[in-house]
Homo-oligomer: A and B are copies of this chain.
């Protein structure tokens, strides 16, 4: 019998899969612990990757942070907000639905991680101008999607006398602030209260 001739695969190259696994753990860690509080060693251990692999895909920690923002945070806002707003029967209904859906999800999880965009925006927008500009772009796209949806409603004859941009700004601000309180208080209640107040206008019943 001849000696085993199998090429004995010690490793399987999967660059895209490896990259995504790194982004997975980086996204979670940056959100839960913060960018500066997370070390590359933490990520290597959590993802089960070596320093060589990490450095191969992301030369610096900043490059990894930029990738998390551009690919994951932006996608998260798109999934949670942009898509649902587009598909909603109206801008106002879409906004109410997102607030309710997020609040429900948080209560099921029993843990409030906060808004992915705001979490990183607060920590990084003053630390680095590259971070700041990418984050600002996501905020802008978020508002634009809501304002565009409101303009559609207006073309259909409803919502007269409403400034779409103003409505969008108030919506994003209210959500961001409500989530900030929900995170600090570890309770989704503020999200619900603010959704009601926003729908009623000026806190009236």
On A, residues with C-beta under 8 Å from B are 32-34, 36-37, 113-114, 118-119, 121-123, 125-127, 132, 135-136, 139-140, 161-178, 180-181, 183-186, 190, 193-194, 196-205
Q: Which residues of B have CB within 8 Å of A163?
A: 197, 203-205
A138 → chain B, closest Cβ, in Å? 9
Q: Which residues of B have CB within 8 Å of A203?
A: 162-164, 166-171
What separation, in Å, do the CA atoms of A190 and B130 have in the docked complex?
Answer: 21
17 sampled A-B residue pairs with Cβ under 8 A: A33-B126, A33-B127, A34-B36, A34-B123, A114-B122, A119-B122, A125-B186, A132-B184, A132-B186, A140-B185, A169-B190, A169-B194, A170-B197, A170-B202, A177-B180, A198-B202, A199-B202
Verify A180–B180 contact, CB threshold 8 A: yes
Given the interface contacts A193-B166, A194-B169, does A123 sit within 8 Å of B126 by beta carbon? no
Query: Which of B119, B174, B193, B199 sits near A165, CB closer than 8 Å?
Result: B193
Query: Which of B161, B175, B201 sits near A177, CB closer than 8 Å?
Result: B175
Query: Which of B118, B123, B171, B204 sits near A162, CB closer than 8 Å?
Result: B204
What separation, in Å, do the CA atoms of A167 and B167 have in the docked complex?
Answer: 17
What separation, in Å, do the CA atoms of A60 and B170 have in the docked complex?
Answer: 40
Verify A135–B184 contact, CB threshold 8 A: yes
Verify B123–A123 contact, CB threshold 8 A: yes
Besides A32-B126, A121-B180, A139-B184, 9 other CB < 8 A contacts?
Answer: A163-B203, A164-B203, A165-B193, A166-B196, A167-B197, A169-B178, A169-B190, A169-B197, A180-B180
Q: Which residues of B have CB within 8 Å of A121?
A: 180, 183-184
Given the interface contacts A33-B127, A181-B139, does A198 sit within 8 Å of B176 by beta carbon? no
Residue in B closest to A125 when the chains form the complex, CB atoms: B184
Verify B183–A125 contact, CB threshold 8 A: yes
What separation, in Å, do the CA atoms of A173 and B176 have in the docked complex?
Answer: 7
What separation, in Å, do the CA atoms of A127 and B183 have in the docked complex?
Answer: 11
